[in-house]
Structure 1
Amino acid sequence: MKTSVVILNWNGRKLLERFLPSVLQHSLSEECNVIVADNNSNDDSLEFLQTHYPDLPVIVLDKNWGFAEGYNKALQQVDSEYVVLLNSDVETTPDWVQPLVSYMDAHPEVAAVQPKIRAYKDKNRFEYAGASGGFIDRYGYPFCRGRILHVVEEDRGQYDDEMPVFWATGACFCIRRKEYTEAGGLDSRFFAHMEEIDLCWRLNARGKRVMCIPSSVVYHVGGASLRQDNPKKMYLNFRNNLLMIYKNIPQRIYHSTFTMRLFFDILACLRLLLNANFQSARAVIDAYRDFLKMRPSFRPVRRENLRKAVKEVIPTQYRKSILIDFYFRGKKTYAAVMGSLSRRK
């Protein structure tokens, strides 16, 4: 197969029952197959697949490796030119794979692409985790074309142009398997959250491009594993974001970046405390504690990333602070942040 759509499943029998039919209907072709990789589920996911989809390829992993290493393990058993990492809570649309593959066929310098992601529960709006392409600001805070912090826009076609982005969402993105392998795949120590941004940072720094192709559309439930305000999710997001910055930030801006990042995160923690959200505030503190513990083990990876980087300045990284834009300048849409829809970073 030229393309394999790989769904990583863990105790997601209900999600497979709801969404797998649309994936199979809209994806299978002479050049594209669908594979489920099971992360050692202890529900009846495997029994469901064997009963209802006996011919569907299934990769059975020996334990729950998490999102990152689960995909690393699964893709070792896939030999397609392109692989699509697809969450189990995504509803696809007709011919959604073809625009992604066609664009990559025509642009060999592009390593990964994502479709436009709309919300499954409100299909006229973008979805939080990806929208119409992902970016990060100078201090490592991610945002999207269609979602700035917690403000998600209605999709009125305002972001329907193909454009380079900093990161493609882990909910659904297509990548050349060779590029995935050569870049080191997803960082298994992240377990879950931020690993796709970290991978895309490496790709960008090594001269590859990441694109959003909005002519391909999927609908994502989001929060199927952990809600956005879950303390565990907040912990992983903060810890992994700090690790990602450490792994990839150029040395010349290392100290200034972490100084400002600490300042902003202290403010975030104080805000959580004032709102009596003590568990989330503790999650931020724990994230910093564990980041400091883990940082020494990431030094060899940081050295390797900086050695292999051919771009110290990545064009798609936002040079300003998205927090200052949002809270002090009132810029709450991508168009307001960037100044115009046609601007290319």
Structure 2
Amino acid sequence: MKLSIVIVNYNVKYFLEQALLAVRKAAKGLAVEVFVVDNNSVDDSVQMLREKFPEVKLMANSQNLGFSKANNQAIAQAKGEYVLLLNPDTVIREDSLSAPLAFMDAHPEAGGLGVKMIDGKGCFLPESKRGFPSPEVAFYKAFGLSKLFPKSTRFNRYHLGYLSADETHEIEVLSGAYMLLRKSVLEQIGYLDEAFFMYGEDIDLSYRVVQAGYKNYYFAGTTIIHYKGESTKKGSLNYVKTFYNAMIIFAQKHFGGPQAGLYVGMLRAAIYFRASLTLLANWSKRLFPLLLDALLIFIGLFLLKDIWANLRFDDPDYFKPSLIYFNYPLYIGIWLTTAFFRGVYDQKLKAGQLVSGFALGSLLIAAVYGFLPSHLRASRMLIVLGTIWAIGSSWSWRYLLALLGKGPLEQGQQLHNVVILGSLSESERVQRLLYKARVQNNLIGTVAPSESEADFKQFLGAIYQLEELVQIYKIKEIIFCAKDLRAEQIIYWMNRLGPEVAYKIVAEDSLSIVGSNSKNSAGDLYTLELGFKIAETMAKRNKRLLDLSSSFIFLLFSPILAWSCASPLGFIANAWAVFWGQKSWLGYAKGDSKLQHLPKLRPSVLSPADSLPQLPDEEHSLHRINLFYAKDYYWSEDARLIWENWRKLGRKKQPAQSRSQPLPSTQKQD
């Protein structure tokens, strides 16, 4: 056996499918065995593997053992001369196995090898080649000097930025996304250190390879796609903590004396420093739009006050100071709150959401206006003019960003232009997938995968004209049909066209179209599989808002309302639990063995099954009820169920659903 490939999977079914199809192509003519170790995924990865990849040696764990332990499970059984540790969110070229193996055969001093990696936008990934994180190197990385001086031999030794990405080099650290190792070396130095749960294990293993007298190489003779972002979001606090804690484990293991203490202290400081930067960046991204809206609205209201005072009352000092110090902050607070709950500050925003968000705020202001004492009631015309200004100012700056290709505002039905690169039959299949998955785009046409197939009555052009077609038709997304194209061709065009275009790949016979527009975020996916509305940001916010507002009202009027429930004390206890977010009024019915496949919800007092008659004695009944609740969720349905099951709001816990007795048999018993 020449090569054993080990892939550890955790809930990335669609990327795993694409990775294995690419491996299947690259492995032709080679003596290869493939292991997939699944760390207790709940996305049906195991079922997909058994159905589509019977040749794979599957090891299904009952819990998430982490990257190192899972890899070691397969390495222990591997029979290959070489072992390749490969991420599931990768796509390898047809020569990404044969060419590195030939290089390793020709270089007996090589203990390990990594390859050139690009992300889903075609950009080179600097972690393809790295140096050891010595205290000095780690300091420069942790405090951002490596980014400020990317070509410096001193400040960027971590990513070896001074070495050409297009040439093969001896390096120190390999990436765990593609790590080709001699099995004999692994037997000599030991497998992955299981003290590392995620991150750091590749650095540790690379270090031990070099310590044993072997060399690690960066091999530029082939390129793979590494989508990244599928396991841990790079912009998260969890990533910062996990990554630098892994560095601490590495330092404590390999450095001794005062050097280790200094290194660990520096890394701990880096954790707090980078965590602070991450928090600041995340909060600034979230708060900037809200603060900018507040500022613009206040400026507008301040100017409108003087304009209206002059026009209507011919007195610039007509309005009292309380207008600025009380009314305007109240109005702005209400507008921003209703805008928030309408999704104005979400990642994607439609103009209708913005208008309705501020309009709802104005209705609420009008309602509050009537309860204010007379000396705090300002002109109602200021509320009307303020509404117009709030909508106009908030929309204007978002529209300007949209014109620059940034910001969350979606420009109505201005869909981005897409082409499909593949045969007519595959193109038609992709179009059906897009239609069934309800993906909206402006499909310009199909590009032929070769010049010989280019019938210009049916195709926009041939693959060699792709660059010109992208410019002429202002293409923003290309969907590659892997059945008709070599991975080498796909990677070539991603490199050539660059990150201004989004790329997706549809594998042969796959029902999903996969890509990634950022190395720091989870991949993009078009699939026919069921989507859950309850997992959407707006739905989760509305559900929590209903819980919060209803529990507040219930507690406020509990002396009256509690006695209408079967358990008054239980009603008050549940209302407090819902108010503080420990429970929700509505959730899944208990007794469903497949709940792990649905989006997580808080423990609940009621379920949709409470309004149904006794369930039939079928194993999947409860799951179907929960499935449709998650799929078609709407807050008004929760409100209806609360009303219909009012007397049950005081129960301590949701009971297991009762089932009706089986129908009597019409057959005679023996």
Common fold by TM > 0.5: yes
Deviations 1:86-135 (A, max 9, x none): 0000011121112211122122221110111111x211x2125x23x111
Secondary structure of residue in 2 paired with 1:74 = helix
The 8 Å contact of residues 114 and 211 in structure 1, kept in 2 or not, is answered as yes
**Amino-acid identity (%):** 25
Q: Is the 8 A contact 2:240 2:275 kept in 1?
A: no
Gapped runs of 5+ residues in structure 2? 152-160, 285-670
How has the CA–CA distance of structure 1 residues 16 and 263 changed in structure 2, closer, same or farther, with 3 Å as cutoff?
closer
- Aligned Cα RMSD in Å? 3.0
Aligned to 1:23: 23
User: Which residue in 2 is equivalent to 1:310?
Assistant: none
Distance 1:257 1:172 in 2: 28
CA distance, structure 2, for counterparts of residue 150 and residue 69 of structure 1: 36
Asked whether the equivalents of residues 240 and 271 of structure 2 are also in contact (C-alpha less than 8 Å), the reply is no
SS in 2 for 1:134: coil
One-letter amino acid of the structure 1 residue matched with residue 229 of structure 2? G
Give the number of equivalent residue pairs.
269
Question: 1:236 and 2:242 equivalent?
Answer: yes
Evaluate the alpha carbon distance shift between residue 73 and residue 265 of structure 1 in structure 2; reply closer, same or farther with a 3 A threshold: same
Match of 1:45? 45
CA contact (8 A) 2:247 2:267 kept: no
In the alignment, the residues of structure 1 paired with residue 257 and residue 99 of structure 2 have an alpha-carbon distance, to the nearest angstrom, of: 38
Q: Distance in 1 between matches of 2:111 and 2:195?
A: 23
Which amino acid in the other structure matches residue 33 of structure 2? Answer: N
Whether the 8 Å CA contact 2:244–2:267 is kept in 1: the answer is: no
Q: Deviation at 1:252?
A: 6.8
Alignment match, 2:228: 222
Cα distance between partner residues in 1 of 2:282 and 2:3:
48
Check the 8 A contact 1:8/1:87 in 2, yes or no: yes
For residues 138-187 of structure 1, the C-alpha deviation after alignment (integer angstroms, 9 at most, x for no partner) is 315297xxxx559999x9x9422221111100011100122223322212
Matched residue, 2:10: 10
Q: Does 1:136 align with 2:135?
A: no
8 Å Cα contact 2:39/2:70 also seen in 1:
yes
Note if 1:160 corresponds to 2:166.
yes
| Partner in structure 1 of residue 178 of structure 2 | 172
Note closer, same or farther for the CA distance 1:55–1:165 as it changes in structure 2 (3 Å cut): same
Partner secondary structure for residue 211 of structure 1: strand
Closer, same or farther: CA 3–251 of 1 in aligned 2, 3 Å: same
With over 3 angstroms needed to count, the CA separation of the structure-2 counterparts of 1:268 and 1:48, relative to structure 1, is: closer
Question: Corresponding residue for 2:649?
Answer: none
TM-score, normalised to structure 2, is 0.37
Return the alpha-carbon distance in structure 1 between the equivalents of residues 279 and 42 of structure 2.
37
CA offset at residue 206 of structure 1? Answer: 2.5
From 202, 206, 211, the equivalent of 1:196 is 202
Instruction: Tell me which residue corresponds to 1:94.
Output: 94
Residue deviations 1:250-281 (CA, integer Å, cap 9, x gap): 54733444455455555445545665769xxx
Provide the residue aligned with 1:71 in structure 2: 71
Give the AA of the match of 2:63: K
Question: Counterparts of 1:52 and 1:267 in 2: how far apart (Å)?
Answer: 46
Q: Is the 8 A contact 2:90 2:225 kept in 1?
A: yes
Residue 198 of structure 2 contacts residue 242 of structure 2 at CA under 8 Å; is this kept in 1?
yes
Rounded to whole Å, the distance in 1 between the matches of 2:94 and 2:147 is 30
| CA–CA distance in structure 1, aligned partners of residues 233 and 179 of structure 2 | 21
Aligned residue for 1:232, secondary structure, equals helix
* 2-structure distance, mates of 1:184, 1:136: 19
Deviation per CA, 1:223-248, whole angstroms, max 9, x where unpaired?
Answer: 11111012222211011111101111
AA of the residue aligned to 1:122: K
Q: Deviation of residue 33 (structure 1)?
A: 3.1
In structure 2, relative to structure 1, the CA distance for the partners of 1:201 and 1:81 (3 Å cut) is: same
2:193 is the alignment partner of 1:187:
yes
Show the counterpart of 1:326: none
Give the Cα separation in 2 of the matches to 1:13 and 1:261. Answer: 35
Structure 2 counterpart of 1:135, one-letter code = G
Q: Indicate the SS of the match to 2:172.
A: coil
Determine which structure has greater relative contact order: mean sequence separation of CA pairs < 8 Å that are 6+ residues apart, divided by chain length.
1
Letter in 1 for 2:121: D
- Report which of the two structures shows the higher radius of gyration computed on alpha carbons: 2
Match of 2:125 in 1: 127
Q: Determine if contact 1:27/1:96 at 8 Å carries over to the other structure.
A: no
| Deviation of the 1:22 alpha carbon | 1.4
Q: Are 1:103 and 2:109 counterparts?
A: no
Determine whether 1:210 maps to 2:216: yes
Whether contact under 8 Å (1:127, 1:152) holds in the other structure is no
Q: What is the Cα deviation at residue 197 of structure 1?
A: 0.5
8 Å Cα contact 1:161-1:213 kept in structure 2: yes
Q: 3-state SS of the aligned residue for 2:259?
A: helix
**Alignment partners' CA distance in 2, 1:151 and 1:230:** 24
Residue equivalent to 2:449: none
Q: Deviations over 1:21-61 (max 9, x none)?
A: 11211223332233322223233112111212223332333
CA contact (8 A) 2:175 2:202 kept: yes
Q: 1:14 to 1:151 in 2, by over 3 A?
A: farther
Whole-angstrom CA distance in 2 between matches of 1:273 and 1:223: 18
How many Å separate the matches in 2 of 1:264 and 1:239?
10
Question: Secondary structure of the residue that 2:131 maps to in structure 1?
Answer: strand
Question: C-alpha separation between the residues in 2 aligned to 1:237 and 1:78?
Answer: 28
Shift of 1:217: 1.1
Calculate the TM-score normalised by the size of structure 1. Answer: 0.69
Partners in 1 of 2:107 and 2:252 — Cα distance?
31
Pairwise CA distance, 1:11: 2.2
Q: Which has the larger share of helix?
A: 2
- Aligned partner of residue 65 in structure 1, secondary structure: coil
Gaps of 5+ in 1: 279-345
Q: For 1:26, give the aligned amino acid.
A: A
Alignment-derived partner of residue 627 in structure 2 = none
Distance 1:272 1:220 in 2: 24
